[in-house]
Structure 1
Amino acid sequence: MNWINGEPALHLPLGDRLIQCGDGFFTTARLRHGRISLLPYHLERLSLAAQRLMFAPLDMALLAEEIQLAAESAVDGIIKVIISRGGGGRGYSMAGVSVPVRIICHSPAPAHYPTLMQRGVEMALSPVRLSRNPLFAGLKHLNRLEQVMIRAHLDRDGNADEALVLDTAGQVVECCAANLFWRTEDRVFTPRLNQAGVEGVMRRHIIDTLQRSTYTFSEIAAGPEALYAADEVIICNALMPVLPVKRIEARRYCSHQLFNYLGPYC
C-alpha cells in the first residue's frame, strides 16, 4: 500500500521535482505489530533535512499522524517516508514550487538479515568513493547514485554482502546501506560524518546507548587500517538492526562482545 498526502495512491505527476531532479529526502523505518521503531528519531531526521535543504515547513504533527495510520494498516514490514519538494519551478529554481508532497510506502521486511545475523557479514572494500560535501553530510537525500554504484559493484563481483565505503580523502564513512562501529578492547569508534555519509537513526540510537555504557566511545576520522586493527566490527541500520561482521577483505573477526551487548537495546 502507498499513500500520497494521506490518501491511497500509486502515481506521482511527472512534473514533480522528485522525478525531475531528485529534490527530496526520505527515511526508512522498521514496522512491528503496527508500531514504528525509533519514530521520534525518524521524525527529527525528516525535520532536520527539510530545514537544511530549504524546504517549506513540514506539518510534522500531520506527518506523524499519517505515518501512524499507515503503520496500523500495514502492521509489519517496512515503512518508507519520502518528502518531495513538490511540483513547479523552472529548471532548478525553487521559485513558485508548491508545498512539499508526503509519500508513504509499505513493503515487506528484508528476508536475508536473520541469516546474516547468524553467520556474520562479509565485506569488501568498495572502489566507489563518496564525494565530500558538508552541506549534505548526514542527510538521507534522494540523490543516491553513489550507493547505486556501490551496490552494482557488490552485485557484479559477488564476493561480499556489504561494502566498506571510503570518501574521496580515503577516510572510512559507512557501508552501502548501513553505518558501522568498531571495537578495540573497551573503546568503540564510529566514523565522523561531517563530510559525507548518512547519519542513520540506528547509529544515533547506538551512540546514545554507548554513552550510557562502560565503553569509551568516540566519533573519529580514520582510514580502513583502523578497522583491520580492531577486535570487532558491527554494522547497523533501522531494519537490520545490528549485524556482526565476519570479514573485511582478508581480515577476519571472531569476537561478538559489542554485538552481544547491543542486542537487547536494538
Structure 2
Amino acid sequence: MYWLNGCPSTDISLSDRAVQFGDGCFTTARVLGGSMQWLPAHLARLQRGAAALMIQGVDWQALEQEMVHAAAEQGQGVLKVIVTRGSGGRGYSPAGCLQPTRIVTTSSYPAHYSDWRERGVTLALSPVALAQSPLLAGIKHLNRLEQVMIRLHLEQTTADEALVLDTSGMLVECCAANLFWRTGQRVMTPDVTLSGVDGIMRQHILALLADHPDYQAEIVRAPMAVLAGADEVFICNALMPLLPVTAIGEWRYPSRTLFHTLIPYC
C-alpha cells in the first residue's frame, strides 16, 4: 500500500525534490501485530534528518497518525516512511517549497532474514568506498547511489552482505546494516560521524552495552584488518534485527556468545 500525505496514492509530482534531487530522508521499520516497532525512535530519526536538511513545516502529528494507521492495516511486514522537501521550482534553491511531502508505504517482511538468523551470513569487501561527508553522515537521506552501487557489486558475489569502507580505508558499515565485532570483552562498532548511517538498532545495542557488567562498548575508527582477530562479528538493522556473521573471506567466526546475549532484547 502507498499513502501520499495521508491519502492512498501511487502518484507523486515530477517536480517533487525527492525526484529532482533526492532532497529528503527516510526510515524503514518492522511491523508486528499491527504495530510499528520502535515508533518513537523512527519518528525521532525522521525529525533529525529533516532538521539536518533544514526541511521545515512537516506535520509530524499527522505523519505519526499515518504511520500508526498503515501499520495497523499491514499487520505484519515492513513500513517505510519518506519525508521530502516537497515541490518547488527548477534549480537547487528550495525557494517556493511551501509544503513537505509525506510518503508511507508497506510491504512484506523479507523471508530470508529468519534463515539468515539461523545459519548466519557471509560478508564480502565492497569495491565501493563511501565518501566522507560530515554534513550528511549518520542520517538516512534519499541520496543512496553509493548503496545502489554497493548492492550491484554484491550481487556479483556469493556473499550475503557487503563490508564497506570509507575513502580513507576505515570500516563504516554494510550495504544495509550496521557492523559490530567482539574481541574478548570489548565490543566495537565503526564511527559514523564522517560517513554511514547511525541506525536505530545500532543505537539500541550501544545503550544495552553501556551498563552491561561483562562487555565494554567502543566506537572506533579502524581498518578492516582488525576483524582478522575478532572473536565474533554481527550486523544489525531495525528489520533483521541482529544477524551473526560466520565468515568474511577466509576469516571465520564460530562464536555467537554476544549475539545470544543481545537477541532477546532486540
Question: Would the TM-score normalized by the shorter structure come out above 0.5?
Answer: yes
- In the alignment, the residues of structure 2 paired with residue 45 and residue 21 of structure 1 have an alpha-carbon distance, to the nearest angstrom, of 21
Q: Distance in 1 between matches of 2:57 and 2:208?
A: 31
Deviations 1:131-185 (A, max 9, x none): 00100000100110100011101112x2200011000000000000000110011
- Which letter maps to 1:231? D
Question: What amino acid is the match of 2:195?
Answer: A
**Amino acid across the alignment from 1:74:** Q
Q: Is the 8 A contact 1:50 1:57 kept in 2?
A: no
Quick check: 1:9 aligned with 2:9? yes
Give 2:209's aligned amino acid: L
Describe the superposition over 1:183-207 as per-residue Cα deviations: whole angstroms up to 9, x where unpaired: 0111101001110001111111111
**How much does 1:115 deviate?**
1.1
Percent of aligned pairs with the same amino acid: 54
* Structure 2 letter corresponding to 1:243: L
Q: Check if 1:125 corresponds to 2:117.
A: no
Between the aligned partners of 2:83 and 2:211, the Cα distance in structure 1 is 33
How far off its partner does 1:55 sit?
A: 0.4
Q: State how 1:48-127 maps to structure 2 within 5 Å.
A: 48-127=48-127
> Runs in 1 of length 4+ with deviation above 6 angstroms?
none
Deviation for aligned residue 1:58: 2.1
SS in structure 1 of the partner of residue 31 of structure 2:
strand
Taking the aligned partners of 2:223 and 2:58, their CA distance within structure 1 comes to 38
Counterpart secondary structure, 2:155:
helix
Q: Distance in 1 between matches of 2:90 and 2:155?
A: 37
2:15–2:89 Cα contact (<8 Å) kept? no
Once the two structures are superposed, the pairs formed by residues 12-27 of structure 1 within 5 Å of their partners are: 12-27=12-27
- Determine the C-alpha separation between the residues in 2 that align with 1:4 and 1:98: 16
Displacement of 1:90 in angstroms is 2.5
Deviation at 1:117, TM superposition (A): 0.9
- For 1:196 and 1:241, the matched residues in 2 are separated by 21
The amino acid across from 1:257 in the alignment is: T
Stretches of structure 1 that go unaligned for 5 or more consecutive residues are none
Question: Does residue 205 of structure 2 align to residue 217 of structure 1?
Answer: no
For 2:168, the equivalent position in structure 1 comes to: 169
Q: Deviations over 1:99-122 (max 9, x none)?
A: 110000000000111111111110
Deviation at 1:59, TM superposition (A): 2.3
Q: In angstroms, what is the RMSD of aligned CA positions? A: 0.8
Q: What is the TM-score normalised by the length of structure 2? A: 0.98
8 Å CA contact 2:6, 2:102 repeated in 1: yes
CA contact (8 A) 1:180 1:236 kept: yes
Deviations 1:2-39 (A, max 9, x none): 10111111111111111111111100000001111111
TM-score normalised by structure 1 residue count: 0.98
Which residue of 2 is the match for residue 180 of structure 1?
179
Q: CA deviation at 1:126?
A: 0.7
Check conservation: 2:28, 2:79, Cα contact below 8 A. Answer: yes
* In structure 2, distance between residues paired with 1:5 and 1:260: 41
C-alpha separation in 1, matches of 2:240 and 2:44: 20
